[in-house]
A and B are shown apart, each in its own frame.
Chain A
Amino acid sequence: MDFLFVLIVGLLVTSGAYLMMSGHLVRFLYGLALFSNAANLAIFVSGGLSYGAPALIAEGEKAPLEPVANALPQALVLTAIVIGFGLTVFALALAKRAFASEGTALMDDMRSAEPRAED
Chain B
Amino acid sequence: MLVAFPILTALGTAVFCFLMRDQRQGQMLASLGGALIQVALAVALLWTVTTSGPLSAQMGGWPAPFGITLVADTLSALLVLSTAIVLLCVVIFSLSEIEREQERLGYQALVHALVAGVMGAFLTGDIFNLYVWFEVLLISSFGLLVIGGGKAQLDGAVKYVGLNLIATLAFLTGVGLLYGATGTLNMADLNQAVSGRMTETAILASAGFLLFAYGAKSALFPVYFWLPASYHTPAAATSALFAALLTKVGVYSILRVFTLVFETDGTPLAPVLIVAGAITAVVGVLGAVTHREIRRILSYNIISSIGLLIMAIGIDTPLAITAAIFYLVHNMLVKAALFLHAGLVLKIKGSEEFDKVGGIYEQAPWIAVLFLVPALSLAGIPPLSGFWGKFLILRATIDLPSLALTVLVLVVSLLTIYSVARIWLEIFWKSDERGEGCAPAPALMVAPIVLLTILTVGIGLYPDLLYSWSDSAAAGIADPSTYISAVMEDPS
Q: Do chains A and B touch in the complex (CB under 8 A)?
A: yes
Listed in ascending order, the chain A residues whose CB lies under 8 Å from chain B are 20, 25, 28, 32, 35-36, 38-40, 42-48, 72-73, 76, 79-80, 83, 86-87, 90-91, 94-95, 97-98, 101-102, 110-114
Shortest 4 CB-CB distances between A and B: which pairs? A46-B180, A43-B176, A113-B156, A112-B155
Is A112 within 8 A of B139, CB to CB?
no
Is A46 within 8 A of B165, CB to CB?
no
- Bound together, the chains give a CA A32 to CA B163 distance in angstroms of 10
Is B158 within 8 A of A35, CB to CB?
no
- Bound together, the chains give a CA A40 to CA B175 distance in angstroms of 11
Is A43 within 8 A of B157, CB to CB?
no
Write out the residue numbers on chain B whose beta carbons fall within 8 Å of the beta carbon of A72: 179
Is A42 within 8 A of B177, CB to CB?
yes
A86 and B139 in contact, given A35-B169, A72-B179, A73-B179 (Cβ under 8 angstroms): yes
Tell me, rounded to whole Å, the shortest Cβ–Cβ distance linking B163 to chain A: 11
Interface size class of B (residues with CB under 8 A): 35 or more
Tell me, rounded to whole Å, the shortest Cβ–Cβ distance linking A17 to chain B: 10
Is B155 within 8 A of A43, CB to CB?
no
Interface of A is mostly: helix
B173 interface hit (Cβ, 8 Å): yes
Tell me, rounded to whole Å, the shortest Cβ–Cβ distance linking B444 to chain A: 28
A90 and B161 in contact, given A98-B154, A98-B155, A112-B151 (Cβ under 8 angstroms): yes
Write out the residue numbers on chain B whose beta carbons fall within 8 Å of the beta carbon of A46: 176-177, 179-181, 202
Q: Which of A43, A45, A48, A111 has the most CB of B within 10 A?
A: A43
Is B176 within 8 A of A95, CB to CB?
no
A113 and B233 in contact, given A39-B173, A42-B176, A102-B154 (Cβ under 8 angstroms): yes
Listed in ascending order, the chain B residues whose CB lies under 8 Å from chain A are 128, 132, 135, 138-139, 142, 146, 149, 151-159, 161-162, 165-166, 168-170, 172-173, 175-177, 179-181, 202, 228-230, 232-233
Write out the residue numbers on chain A whose beta carbons fall within 8 Å of the beta carbon of B154: 94, 97-98, 101-102, 112
- Bound together, the chains give a CA A36 to CA B155 distance in angstroms of 23
- Bound together, the chains give a CA A73 to CA B149 distance in angstroms of 38
Is B151 within 8 A of A101, CB to CB?
yes
Write out the residue numbers on chain A whose beta carbons fall within 8 Å of the beta carbon of B233: 113
Write out the residue numbers on chain A whose beta carbons fall within 8 Å of the beta carbon of B165: 32, 36, 87, 91
Q: Please, which residue of chain B has its CB at the minimum distance from the CB of A20?
A: B166
Can you offer 16 A-B residue contacts whose CB atoms are under 8 A?
A: A25-B158, A32-B165, A38-B173, A39-B169, A42-B173, A42-B177, A43-B172, A87-B168, A90-B139, A94-B142, A94-B146, A95-B158, A97-B146, A98-B155, A102-B151, A113-B152
Q: Please, which residue of chain A has its CB at the minimum distance from the CB of B128?
A: A76
- Bound together, the chains give a CA A90 to CA B146 distance in angstroms of 11
Is B149 within 8 A of A97, CB to CB?
yes
Is B172 within 8 A of A39, CB to CB?
yes
Tell me, rounded to whole Å, the shortest Cβ–Cβ distance linking B301 to chain A: 17
Which of B159, B177, B180 contacts A113, CB < 8 Å?
B159
- Bound together, the chains give a CA A112 to CA B153 distance in angstroms of 8
Write out the residue numbers on chain B whose beta carbons fall within 8 Å of the beta carbon of A102: 151, 154-155
- Bound together, the chains give a CA A20 to CA B169 distance in angstroms of 14
- Bound together, the chains give a CA A48 to CA B157 distance in angstroms of 38
Write out the residue numbers on chain B whose beta carbons fall within 8 Å of the beta carbon of A73: 176, 179
- Bound together, the chains give a CA A50 to CA B230 distance in angstroms of 45
Is B142 within 8 A of A90, CB to CB?
yes
Which of B161, B177, B181 contacts A91, CB < 8 Å?
B161
Tell me, rounded to whole Å, the shortest Cβ–Cβ distance linking A109 to chain B: 10
- Bound together, the chains give a CA A73 to CA B175 distance in angstroms of 11
- Bound together, the chains give a CA A28 to CA B152 distance in angstroms of 20
Write out the residue numbers on chain B whose beta carbons fall within 8 Å of the beta carbon of A39: 169-170, 172-173, 176
- Bound together, the chains give a CA A67 to CA B158 distance in angstroms of 47
- Bound together, the chains give a CA A91 to CA B162 distance in angstroms of 8
Which of B135, B153, B170, B175 contacts A43, CB < 8 Å?
B175
Tell me, rounded to whole Å, the shortest Cβ–Cβ distance linking A107 to chain B: 8
- Bound together, the chains give a CA A33 to CA B449 distance in angstroms of 42
Is A94 within 8 A of B157, CB to CB?
yes
With contacts A43-B173, A91-B165, A110-B155 known, what are 10 further pairs, Cβ within 8 A?
A: A32-B169, A39-B169, A39-B173, A45-B180, A46-B176, A72-B179, A79-B132, A90-B142, A98-B155, A102-B151
Write out the residue numbers on chain B whose beta carbons fall within 8 Å of the beta carbon of A44: 176
Write out the residue numbers on chain A whose beta carbons fall within 8 Å of the beta carbon of B158: 25, 94-95, 98, 110
Q: Which of A20, A80, A86, A101 has the most CB of B within 10 A?
A: A80
Tell me, rounded to whole Å, the shortest Cβ–Cβ distance linking B238 to chain A: 14
Is A83 within 8 A of B177, CB to CB?
no
Is B166 within 8 A of A35, CB to CB?
yes
- Bound together, the chains give a CA A112 to CA B162 distance in angstroms of 16
Write out the residue numbers on chain A whose beta carbons fall within 8 Å of the beta carbon of B176: 39, 42-44, 46-47, 73, 76
- Bound together, the chains give a CA A111 to CA B228 distance in angstroms of 12
Tell me, rounded to whole Å, the shortest Cβ–Cβ distance linking A40 to chain B: 8
Write out the residue numbers on chain A whose beta carbons fall within 8 Å of the beta carbon of B159: 113
Write out the residue numbers on chain A whose beta carbons fall within 8 Å of the beta carbon of B151: 101-102, 112
Tell me, rounded to whole Å, the shortest Cβ–Cβ distance linking A116 to chain B: 13
Tell me, rounded to whole Å, the shortest Cβ–Cβ distance linking B363 to chain A: 29
Q: Please, which residue of chain A has its CB at the minimum distance from the CB of B143?
A: A90
Q: Please, which residue of chain B has its CB at the minimum distance from the CB of A31?
A: B166
Write out the residue numbers on chain A whose beta carbons fall within 8 Å of the beta carbon of B161: 90-91, 94
- Bound together, the chains give a CA A97 to CA B142 distance in angstroms of 14
- Bound together, the chains give a CA A45 to CA B173 distance in angstroms of 11
Is B155 within 8 A of A76, CB to CB?
no
Write out the residue numbers on chain B whose beta carbons fall within 8 Å of the beta carbon of A114: 228-229
Tell me, rounded to whole Å, the shortest Cβ–Cβ distance linking B99 to chain A: 19
Which of A35, A40, A80, A111 contacts B155, CB < 8 Å?
A111
